[in-house]
Amino acid sequence: MSDMKLIMEGWRSYSNRVKTAENFGTVFLFENKTVVEKDFKDLLKEYDSGNISAEYLADTWNESVLKEIMMDFDPTGGAAAAGHAKSGAEMLDKAADWLDTKTTQLYQLAQRGVEGLVKGAAGIINVAKKFQRNHPTVAKAAAVVVIAIAAFALMSAFGSEEAQAAIQSPGHATGIPAGAEGQIPPAYYEALRGMIDQAREIENAPLELRAEAMKIVDWAQAKGSTIDLGELQGKYAQFADRQLSTLDGLTSLARKGDPEALEWLKELVETGKTAVYKIHGVPTR
């Protein structure tokens, strides 16, 4: 079984568990110099009913996550500084419970399409990495958490995890996901179009090169079978394949928790959706 299949199976198992979770834990609200602990499910109800905005929900969650990290996992402050440091075993249990709760909360936010969660998500990843290093017994659990965070952040931005496009994925386990036939998901097709469009700024790619490469990508997307851009001949196909490789590397960074990479991916998707290229007056799609 390939690494990608293992990752996707791990994701499906994790997402099924958090989907059925009944307890979403709590968050801290910091208003008027007062700290109030609030049931996260109640906060979601306020958002679902339209009483609070997505921006308020995201800001509240981010602030709570970062404050909890400082209080509970920062050796220079919080419980440790107050002389209430926990033993290694107690800290390990606390970290495992906290990671489980926060990733469940993040999943609920991602399901609602709430954006602007990169600060809190990055904080969770840092805690997971910290305990992965210091406590080998939680290495596997921490790795699943990191993958899950990146996966539902990307899937929230990119839509379905199922691959439908006909362009073949580079096949790297940490990069662009691949479907049953090795093809990239539809949103990555849009991101690839965005990458080709932005190449005019990144590498001063001339219009003809970008237009012909876009034509190839749009043709491959509409093809009935999976197309490996790397096997196509000519400078235009090579240029398109190079942009796909760059996109694959960017995806790898995003899946490792790089917030700037994730934001760039989102931008590429939106750019790809609106980019119009014509050859002799005929749109490439």
pLDDT tens, position by position, 14-65:
556 666 777 899 999 987 778 899 999 999 999 999 999 988 998 899 889 8
pLDDT top residue among 214 and 77 = 214
pLDDT in tens, 156-190: 555 444 445 588 888 776 788 777 778 888 888 99
CA atoms within 13 A on the CB side of 85: 9
Using an 8 Å Cβ cutoff, are 175 and 38 in contact?
no
For residue 91, pLDDT over 90 is answered with no
Using an 8 Å Cβ cutoff, are 283 and 275 in contact?
no
What is the rounded distance in angstroms from the CA atom of residue 110 to the CA atom of residue 91?
A: 28
pTM (two decimals): 0.52
pLDDT in tens, 228-276: 999 999 999 999 999 999 998 888 887 766 667 777 888 898 999 999 9
Instruction: Single out the residue of 260, 257, 216, 265 nearest to residue 239, CA to CA.
Output: 216
pLDDT top residue among 279 and 154 = 279
- Give the model's pLDDT for residue 114: 74
Tell me the average pLDDT across 139-162.
52
What is the rounded distance in angstroms from the CA atom of residue 271 to the CA atom of residue 197?
A: 8
Q: What is the mean pLDDT of the chain?
A: 77
Tell me the average pLDDT across 69-82.
59
What is the rounded distance in angstroms from the CA atom of residue 221 to the CA atom of residue 184?
A: 10
